[in-house]
A and B are shown apart, each in its own frame.
Chain A
């Protein structure tokens, strides 16, 4: 990818984000339900209400509101949350790390589990086990994270209560942390009690998000590996007496990983979208959970901020995936 094409992509990304901002802004302005009505006390006078509306800029014409908001966003001023009465950026700063830790844990799990299943599937080609593995994999592909999250709640909540089902950590540890990156901070501080607690809370939502991802990776990688395993260079290596496992890991994997990587990137953005409901189910304090509360409370500035953050995350990941894919397969850049 040349510099110009990167600049091109960034330009497109800016247009897309502008579009996202516009869509959500217009949508929110037609929402029935006055955000001010939800925050005032019953004794407020009409003058108080008017003052509050003016305070949040809700009395201006819509295009003007949009451009004021846009101008502020460019200066990284996302306004003040109406329901929580704190800076939107500050709120997102507190919650986003939880979501990031969750999604990266799920990504690592998905890649590892998917990779292992794919390699095992190729090694077990033409055995009865292969069919069984494909069947289970098909289930994980067909059923989305929402349902898996609830299946986990059921299994772990009722049948085998080993992991906590809600929250990000036991409240007794809450005062141990100075940053919102609990997992990273506890590891850096070598505080293993906290790390264990954070991880235990992470397992359930991580599995709900990561299992469908693992299934996608397992299927794509297995197909690519199976194709690579009948190529001449693998046959040659086999004639030299390499073991099947080494054939897969050393010869086939390198050539099969490209398409899987691109797909993983796409699936990763879907997974970030999935955090909204999975965080809700496990009462996990990330931005997805906060987003639903914001919608329920008609908290316009907060919704706008969160949606923009999600949009920016999607775009950054897409560009990063393209860059990595190009690095791995330079042939693509000539197309």
Chain B
């Protein structure tokens, strides 16, 4: 994705209020969707009409509601093994959101720390981190993730670690640039002349001003993580092929596309909407939290 080039805020003011956030209708819409999705994920066992794993070959490849051959109770149809698509979607939201939350937080933590350090202390730290970023950016991310999961072994935690290992560069590049920009501003010079230590200035003065960028990036990264998990499931490397992941469902749907399109359509729509929501939220947050862009 494109780099986030954000003009530096002039004051050391932070999150003044939530009002500008709520003024953005897209943020409200996207946030609302994600909250509902999170609730669905949390309460999946109570919401899902069927078991996501139970196979019933008598009920295989049933079409969704409104189509000929629809079987009551199987609202979105069944796959070729007779598993309920809706229930698998609902449980799939759990895996997608878990990966999004944990992987993005890990990547954000590692990337932001390295970005802050290289942008503030510069010198050797900066040179080493920048070189690492260069090396990382020379890998096709999908290939690197496939490789990492092959190394780590499949499973939820491998997927999460792989995403964090790959995507920390997204944070470190932007946070470094932002820290560099902040470091040249008057309030930092003022803090230095008062005699604050370098470390104090980094954590107490610069970090709060870089934080909005990090928060916006976190939301964007969650969208990316959902996709990477889906890609790994699609390739067959994520979690066991039984597990109800959106990517796994998509891969299965691709196979039976001509017989039962609904196996592909519904998980694909879920992916589409979730990624879009994280993106709208991230871009909206970026605008709303940044004092200069808010004008």
The answer, yes or no, to whether A179 is at the interface (CB within 8 Å) is: no
Q: Is A311 close to B, CB under 8 A?
A: yes
Known A147-B268, A153-B254; contact A280-B138, beta-carbon cutoff 8 A: no
Once the chains bind, are B138 and A311 in contact (CB under 8 Å)? yes
Instruction: Give the number of A-B contacts (CB < 8 Å).
Output: 128
B275-A15 in contact (CB<8A): no
Asked if A295 is at the interface (CB within 8 A of a chain B CB), the reply is yes
CA distance A80 to B229 in the complex (A): 32
Closest to A19 in B: B135
Interface residues of A in 260-314 (CB under 8 A from B): 263, 267, 269, 272-277, 280-281, 288, 291-292, 295-296, 298, 303, 306-307, 310-311, 314
Interface size on A, residues (CB 8 A): 53
- Report the Cα distance A158→B153, complex, angstroms: 35
Is the CB–CB distance between A295 and B147 below 8 Å? yes
Whether the pair A276, B257 counts as a contact (CB closer than 8 A) is: no
**Interface residue B134 (Cβ < 8 Å from any Cβ of A):** yes
Q: Bound complex: CA of A250 vs CA of B257, how far in Å?
A: 48
Residues 9-49 of A, flagged 1 when their CB comes within 8 A of B and 0 if not, give 00010011101100110011011110000000000000000
Contact between A311 and B234, CB atoms less than 8 A apart? no
User: Within residues 1 to 18 of chain B, which ones have a CB less than 8 A from any CB in chain A?
Assistant: 2
**Which residues of B112-146 have CB atoms within 8 Å of chain A's CB atoms?**
131-132, 134-135, 137-143, 146
Query: Across the interface, do A150 and B138 meet the contact criterion of CB distance under 8 Å?
Result: no
B-side interface mostly: helix
Report how far A276 CA is from B231 CA in the complex, Å. Answer: 10
Q: Which of A142, A143, A157, A310 contacts B138 (CB 8 A)?
A: A310
In the bound complex, residues from chain B placing their C-beta under 8 Å from that of A220 are: 2
Question: In the assembled complex, how far is the CB of residue A62 from the closest CB belonging to chain B, in whole angstroms?
Answer: 15
Q: Would you give the shortest CB distance from A9 to chain B, in whole angstroms?
A: 11
Chain A contact residues, majority secondary structure: helix
Residues of B within 8 A of A307 (CB): 139, 143, 147
In the complex, are the beta carbons of B264 and A153 less than 8 A apart?
yes
**Known contacts A23-B135, A150-B264; 15 further A-B pairs (Cβ under 8 A):** A19-B135, A32-B151, A139-B276, A143-B276, A151-B268, A154-B257, A154-B265, A267-B2, A276-B140, A277-B231, A288-B142, A292-B146, A296-B237, A307-B139, A307-B143
* B binding-site residues for A, Cβ under 8 Å: 2, 131-132, 134-135, 137-143, 146-148, 150-151, 153, 223-224, 227, 230-231, 234-237, 250, 254, 257-258, 261, 264-265, 268, 271-272, 275-276, 279-280
Between A and B, 25 residue pairs with Cβ closer than 8 Å are A16-B134, A24-B139, A31-B151, A141-B279, A142-B276, A142-B280, A143-B272, A143-B275, A144-B224, A147-B272, A153-B264, A158-B258, A216-B2, A263-B2, A267-B2, A273-B140, A291-B146, A292-B143, A295-B146, A295-B150, A296-B237, A307-B139, A310-B138, A311-B139, A315-B138
Interface of A toward B, CB cutoff 8 Å: 12, 15-17, 19-20, 23-24, 27-28, 30-33, 139, 141-144, 146-147, 150-151, 153-154, 157-158, 216, 220, 263, 267, 269, 272-277, 280-281, 288, 291-292, 295-296, 298, 303, 306-307, 310-311, 314-315
The 3 closest A-B pairs by CB, nearest first: A273-B140, A142-B279, A19-B135
